[in-house]
Amino acid sequence: MSFKLSLENKVAVVTGGSRGIGRAIALEFAERGAAVVVNYNSSPDAAEEVVKKIQEAGGKAAAFKADVSDFKQAESLVKFAVDTFGDLSILVNNAGITRDQLIMMMPETDWDAVINTNLKSTFNCSKAAVKHMMRKRTGRIINMASVAGQMGNPGQTNYSASKGGQIAFTKALAREVAGRNITVNAIAPGFVDTEILDAMSPETLEAALKLVPLGRKGKPEEIAFTAAFLAADGAAYITGQVLGVDGGMAMM
Ligand code: NAP
């Protein structure tokens, strides 16, 4: 028997689905048959545009505002998915921010904002999702980490710590919930062509790309395809893994 890369009859929540990588994942999942909750925080128009695109193509989607760094709002996001589409089979913890600065100059508020948005959100949403998935004895959780969490990056102590934390979280939770047929994996993208890279100067980006054996930035769609692979039935025996999609930057 060969597996298809289909997500028919699945319900997915994509945090930060309004822009960049999350947007590409929402579109990819919907194209493969999943009903998708497109979570956003500050970009309602962008989220509605993703929903409209999916619906016009005959798919199912709904937008939901939640600041996923807030425990209660994360809970309400998962509840919305179950109430609207009757299930939650796939959670993608994708929402993320950067606040780059050398540690000597980094304000405490930038440390807290990055850790809360990138890492605490992963706990918040996973906790709510696992409650539902445990009962159903099936589920997929995909955490959007980064090469920065594997290799470290100067000027990104906060971001690297949040992404390294997501990787460790992935492994611990994978062991906790494997008995209930729930898989938990991480994707570690390298430099991917989204607005998050706007914070880097062109010179820094050019220097950074010299570290990429494939010699280019990744496309959001390439990360989205990886997420679809991890979410599909054929990936049921993969858990606790970190899949690098980085042009060969971090060969672990
Ligand atoms: P992006 O284009 O800046 O998009 C970030 C997304 O996160 C937006 O949809 C944003 O939604 C959402 N978001 C931010 N704070 C949020 C919050 N508190 N609650 C809910 N949603 C929130 O960034 P991206 O490049 O697509 O990054 C997506 C993920 O990939 C991040 O976790 C990032 O760390 C990771 N990553 C990216 C790269 C890269 O090179 N692009 C590399 C490695 C890892 P609103 O606009 O609605 O607030």
In the chain, domain spans? 11-244
Instruction: Specify the DSSP element, H or E, that contains 93.
Output: strand 90-93
Q: Tell me, yes or no, if 40 is annotated catalytic.
A: no
Question: CB of 22 closer than 6 A to ligand 1?
Answer: yes
Gap between the Cα atoms of 196 and 209, Å rounded? 15
pLDDT at 130: 98
pLDDT at 73: 98
Out of 25, 94, 193, 217, mutate this one to test ligand 1's pocket (max ligand atoms within 8 Å of CB): namely 94
pLDDT at 170: 99
> Atom 19 of ligand 1 has which residue's CA nearest to it?
67
Q: Ligand 1 centre from 153 Cα, in Å? A: 18
Domain 11-244, what architecture? 3-Layer(aba) Sandwich (3.40)
In the sheet that holds 242-245, the strands lie side by side as 61-65, 35-40, 11-14, 90-93, 139-144, 182-189, 242-245
Question: Which residues of the chain carry a pLDDT beneath 50?
Answer: none
pLDDT at 14: 99
Is the whole model's pTM more than 0.95, yes or no? yes
The SS3 of residue 139 is strand
